[in-house]
Amino acid sequence: MKVGTFLPPPDARVSGSEPQGTYNPGELRGIIRVNQDKCVGCDTCRENCPADAMMGEIGVAHKIDLDKCIACGQCLINCPFGAIEQMSFVDEVMGKLNDPKVVVVGIPAPAVRVAIAEEFGAPPGTLTVKKLHSAMKKAGFKVYENNLAADQTILEEGGEIVGKIRYWVLGERSKELEEFGKHPFPHFTSCCPAWVRYAEINYAALLPHISGARSPMLMAGPSAKTWAALNIWKVDPVKVYTVGIMPCTAKIFEASRPEFHAAWKFLREKKIIPDNTPKFPDIDAVLTTRDLAEVFRRKGINPLEMPEEAEEKITEMYTGGATIFGNSGGVMEAALRYAYQVVSGKNPPSWDIYAVRGYTKYGVKEATITLPLKDGKTITVRTATVNGIKNHLDKVVKDVLSGQSPYDIIEVMNCPGGCINGGGQPVQPMGTSWIDPLLPLRLKV
């Protein structure tokens, strides 16, 4: 089903120096909107909105409360009438791709590779990796794999968990561990921007529990504009234009957040660019999977016809440990692998931690993991993987805030099943998520 898109209106980005509602200066508002001419008020959007942001009576065209909206796009991919639209940066990216003075870097997320083929007639879930890279290069992108940046996320978030274990569980005290004393268990993951915004709006007291690690996209952006620009591509960092290619509409919002300009700050501090260089973001634009398909169509490129084998550049290499991030439980599993290795000093008996993986219609998947320590003792880590905010998250959070939570580590992905079911993924003709045609009903169980 064709999904409607619209160009960012002039007033989309919050201006001035003061917040507007729940948005900070510079952030984008209205990334998702309801087309009033198409909406019949069927209320399917409300049934799938995790943030209670849909307004309108049944039978009357609905609207979105932007101050509640977390830009996740679950209303969009579940609308049976195609009445919900997404802000698109395709035209802007096309202009950059056609400008020889600009170095356009595409950052493809792992969930995109199992969805882009669907836009070109292949069955859902068809895996494309090298074909996708080849198509992106033909379109004019340099490729910086999001998987490479997600490897960094494993190190950062896994390191946080180990630090918290040392401080809170083992009782170690040192200057290097002081910061972890401010961030108690349970530890929440931070990769999902819709979840982070939901927490900021509804549960500000929870923020000390959420990982301080950037999402992989926001690690890739500054790395591409510093390390890769200077050492790999050997180009002027100011000419680098980074494009997150994501399964997620909330990533459009995340990229607009004003705190993410680490590359600009680093390059000025190192005197690589002049002090008067205007501030630029780590991620310049975000394309959804659907948007990338549109870029390919405009360029006359079918990724399914591209070669599977291609020379692999250093910015396209990764361990593979982060590929699972696109599925629910993936961030949890990757972090636990790291924690096991560090606290025990040896590899786990199996790198597959099946207990934390996967989608469950009951919303929260629980597991108990035993981690051996170097002194022969063991510790027990209790985990919860939250499969979609809708109907499942609030009780988990309220238990944490009341001190009654049974968990030590909690992964939250706004979209049921994880990023593979994100708001930027291909939409089926009936408007329901391809991961499970009855998903909206089953979430009520």
Residues whose CB is less than 8 angstroms from the CB of residue 248 and which lie 6 or more positions away in sequence, other chains included: 72, 73, 109, 193, 194, 288, 415, 419, 422, 423, 424
The yes-or-no answer on residue 160 being catalytic is yes
Q: Would you call 419 a catalytic residue per the annotation?
A: yes
191 counts as catalytic:
yes
Select which of 164, 251, 365, 390 is catalytic.
251
Whether residue 259 lies in the annotated active site:
yes
| Active site annotation includes 309 | no
- The two tokens of residue 102 are 């600009």
Annotated active-site residue in 39, 45, 191, 248: 191
Q: Which of 51, 77, 118 is nearest to 388 (CA)?
A: 51
Catalytic residue check, 157: yes
Q: Which residues pair with 242 in a beta bridge?
A: 105
- Exactly one of 118, 157, 333, 411 is catalytic; name it: 157
Residues in the chain: 445
Which residues fall within 8 angstroms of residue 6, CB to CB, at 6 or more apart?
33, 85, 86, 87, 88
Is 294 a residue of the active site? no
Candidates 134, 211, 215, 405; catalytic one: 211
Contacts by residues 205-213 (CB-CB < 8 Å, ≥ 24 positions apart): 205/401, 206/397, 206/400, 206/401, 208/182, 208/183, 208/184, 209/183, 209/184, 209/185, 209/400, 211/156, 211/157, 211/160, 211/187, 212/156, 212/160, 212/183, 213/153, 213/156, 213/157, 213/160
Q: Is 18 a known active-site residue?
A: no
Residue 397 CB neighbours (<10 A): 23
Q: Which of 85, 118, 254, 333 is catalytic?
A: 254
- The span from the first CA to the last CA of the chain, in angstroms, equals 28
Omega of the bond leading into 186 within 30 degrees of 0 (cis): yes
Q: At what angle do helices 146-164 and 330-344 cross, to 10 degrees?
A: 50
3-state secondary structure (DSSP) of residue 87 = strand
CA angle 404, 408, 410 (to 5 degrees): 95
Q: Say which of 172, 178, 179, 259 is annotated catalytic.
A: 259
Q: By CB neighbour count within 10 A (0-12 exposed, 13-18 middle, 19+ buried), where does 175 fall?
A: exposed
Query: What is the rounded CA–CA span in Å between residue 289 and residue 73?
Result: 13
Of these residues, 160, 294, 333, 411, which one is catalytic? 160
Catalytic residues: 157, 160, 191, 211, 251, 254, 259, 419
